[in-house]
């Protein structure tokens, strides 16, 4: 009888849930990496602009140009803040997704472990059954051989007795 795990359909479902949560985790991780890269680029862009402004200020800068640079810098600061907020949001989402994946993985592992224990119990029962069948075959063979050798021994033991009976019968006939 082949092994049959009664919860196989549930195990397949749990594996599919785990796979789905893993894929979601990969997507969130990719988005988080991209958001961090955008935040770094925004910070580097601002740092370059600040260096250029410092250099321009040393050479002399008109008031209108300074106001323009300040407006541009505020835009860069806002961009950095939005990128940082996006990174924080994605960190939280990543943490939640790690937890969801971990729970899905644990639920799948519970069924995997149950399946493994049931398979091991089935395998052990099959081994015991096979051993019992071998033992029964051995006993049947032994009984058959024992019965055959017993019949031969009985026949061999009966032969001298028959000769003795025949001799004693002849002896009696001779005396009569």
Instruction: Give the pLDDT confidence score for residue 166 in this predicted structure.
Output: 55
Instruction: Give the pLDDT confidence score for residue 65 in this predicted structure.
Output: 84
Verdict on whether the full-model pTM lies above 0.85: no
Contact partners, residue 104, CB within 8 Å, separation at least 6? 14, 17, 18, 20, 21
d(CA 135, CA 139): 6
The position carrying tokens 């910070």 is 43
Report whether CATH 3.40.50.970 matches the domain 8-133. Answer: no
DSSP 7: T
Instruction: Give the pLDDT confidence score for residue 160 in this predicted structure.
Output: 58
Cα–Cα distances in Å, from 74 out to 11, 34, 68, 70?
55, 23, 10, 6
DSSP 3: -
Instruction: Give the pLDDT confidence score for residue 87 in this predicted structure.
Output: 97
d(CA 171, CA 169): 5
Instruction: Give the pLDDT confidence score for residue 156 in this predicted structure.
Output: 61
Rg, C-alpha atoms of the chain: 46
Instruction: Give the pLDDT confidence score for residue 59 in this predicted structure.
Output: 83
> Which three-class secondary structure string do you get for 63-100?
HHHHHHHHHHHHHHHHHHHHHHHHHHHHHHHHHHHHHH
Q: Which residues in the chain show pLDDT less than 50?
A: none
Instruction: Give the pLDDT confidence score for residue 76 in this predicted structure.
Output: 94
């Amino acid at each position: 009888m082949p092994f049959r795990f009664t919860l196989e359909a549930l195990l397949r479902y749990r594996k599919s849930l785990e796979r789905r949560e893993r894929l979601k985790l990969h997507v969130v991780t990719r988005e988080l990496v991209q958001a961090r890269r955008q935040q770094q680029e925004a910070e580097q862009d601002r740092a370059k602009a600040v260096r250029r402004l410092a250099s321009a200020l040393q050479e002399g800068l008109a008031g209108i140009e300074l106001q323009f640079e300040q407006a541009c810098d505020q835009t860069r600061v806002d961009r950095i803040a939005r990128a940082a907020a996006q990174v924080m949001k994605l960190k939280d989402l990543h943490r939640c997704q790690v937890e969801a994946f971990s729970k899905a993985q644990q639920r799948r592992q519970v069924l995997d472990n149950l399946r493994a224990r049931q398979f091991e119990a089935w395998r052990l029962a099959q081994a015991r059954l096979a051993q019992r069948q071998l033992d029964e075959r051995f006993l049947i063979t032994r009984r058959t051989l024992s019965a055959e050798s017993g019949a031969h021994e009985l026949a061999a033991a009966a032969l001298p007795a028959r000769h003795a009976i025949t001799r004693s019968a002849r002896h009696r006939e001779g005396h009569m």
